[in-house]
Structure 1
């Protein structure tokens, strides 16, 4: 099942977005994710298993994998015509509240980089919207049981409203696999690539090495 489903003609913008397909599910506070692995629903949604997160990927999207020089996967970006989406999970205290701390630090960092930043209220509380040059950014964070999920979408300013809605829907359908191992707060939960993707990357890297 793709992330984007039936079309909704409410609040349409410019003509270039007339073909944008909206998410299938409306927000239901009592029955909405993101989900902890222990409460993952059997809902038929197709999710990309990245180890610590299982993320729904829109039909036709492309994946870009960012690797650390030492080998581990740093991030997996989902690239669509409406923006680049990135979802990561982090170890968090049982008491929650990590996103509020991170949000303030992130805003200060963005302003230090020259971005215009403002805070908005979203489905899970505070969100950050930022503009840096010709790029619009939206950050959404959610506190879960011993984890924090953070999503960001980068795109063009004229698509900002639509890409923000798509980011919320992606997070709403994400499953977080925290595991039982103790971890320092803020530690990124490790990402793992599916075998087919890992093999493809290894093959491409091997072809690029000098013979």
Structure 2
């Protein structure tokens, strides 16, 4: 399970106070003003600390493409994708999801239109909610699944988690819907393992994750 890191960024000079956020909540873009709270740095995503969640990297093969936060019998899956500068991806992604997962209906949620319903799995029907957030040149997909998906007391904690996520798109050219690269907390951007920070456990590999492209 992830542990909290000391600070998201080095100590700033006293005179250089961060600008106040212009919105009540995120997900935040790394380049916009956002609350300076303790987060876990995974490269393309910075995640808020919640000691109740067991958070693991999710992969396709050897590539880290998302994270899964586990809380009891419920999970939150997060994927950040590169998006065009001119338009968002959620309307397009919704169509793809509904073509693959029958029984999902549109409804209004905390981030606008979302998809909700029952997914057929090997263990039976499983409640699920798909939340899509279009950002500047990125798209964040959040999937809440499990018996608590429609229970506000359970899913509300996941929604609050998503509201404090920071997406780090970077300036590199990326293809449409390409996963924004993630890394282990103790790895440098080049892939080298850096110094272990106090409070981090050895990183456990998470479940395989299905691509939405």
TM-score by length of structure 1 reads 0.70
| 1:83 CA drift (Å) | 1.4
**Which residue is equivalent to 1:83?**
74
For residue 39 of structure 1, the aligned residue among 24, 32, 35 is: 32
Mapped to 1, the partners of 2:156 and 2:52 lie a distance apart of 18
**Which residue is equivalent to 2:108?**
121
**Which residue is equivalent to 2:142?**
151
State the Cα RMSD in Å.
Answer: 2.7
The alignment status of 1:63 with 2:71, answered yes or no, reads: no
Mapped to 2, the partners of 1:118 and 1:125 lie a distance apart of 13
**Which residue is equivalent to 2:101?**
110
Q: Which runs of 4+ in 1 moved over 4 A?
A: 196-202
Q: For the structure 1 residues 198 and 101, does the alpha-carbon distance in structure 2 shift closer, same or farther, using more than 3 Å as the test?
A: farther
**Which residue is equivalent to 1:186?**
177
- Which structure exhibits the higher relative contact order, with contacts defined as CA atoms closer than 8 Å and separated by 6 or more residues? 2
Q: For the structure 1 residues 135 and 40, does the alpha-carbon distance in structure 2 shift closer, same or farther, using more than 3 Å as the test?
A: farther
| 1:183 CA drift (Å) | 0.9
**Which residue is equivalent to 1:73?**
64
Q: For the structure 1 residues 198 and 95, does the alpha-carbon distance in structure 2 shift closer, same or farther, using more than 3 Å as the test?
A: farther
Q: For the structure 1 residues 94 and 77, does the alpha-carbon distance in structure 2 shift closer, same or farther, using more than 3 Å as the test?
A: same
**Which residue is equivalent to 1:168?**
159
Mapped to 1, the partners of 2:126 and 2:70 lie a distance apart of 14
Mapped to 2, the partners of 1:123 and 1:167 lie a distance apart of 12
Q: For the structure 1 residues 157 and 171, does the alpha-carbon distance in structure 2 shift closer, same or farther, using more than 3 Å as the test?
A: closer
Q: For the structure 1 residues 198 and 108, does the alpha-carbon distance in structure 2 shift closer, same or farther, using more than 3 Å as the test?
A: farther
| 1:200 CA drift (Å) | 4.3
2:51 is paired with a residue of what secondary structure?
coil
Native 8 Å contact 2:56 2:204 kept in 1: no
Deviations 1:9-65 (A, max 9, x none): xxxxxxxxxxxxxxxxxxx99322111101252432x32221111122422321333
Native 8 Å contact 1:49 1:194 kept in 2: yes
Which consecutive unaligned segments of at least 5 residues does structure 1 have? 3-27, 203-211
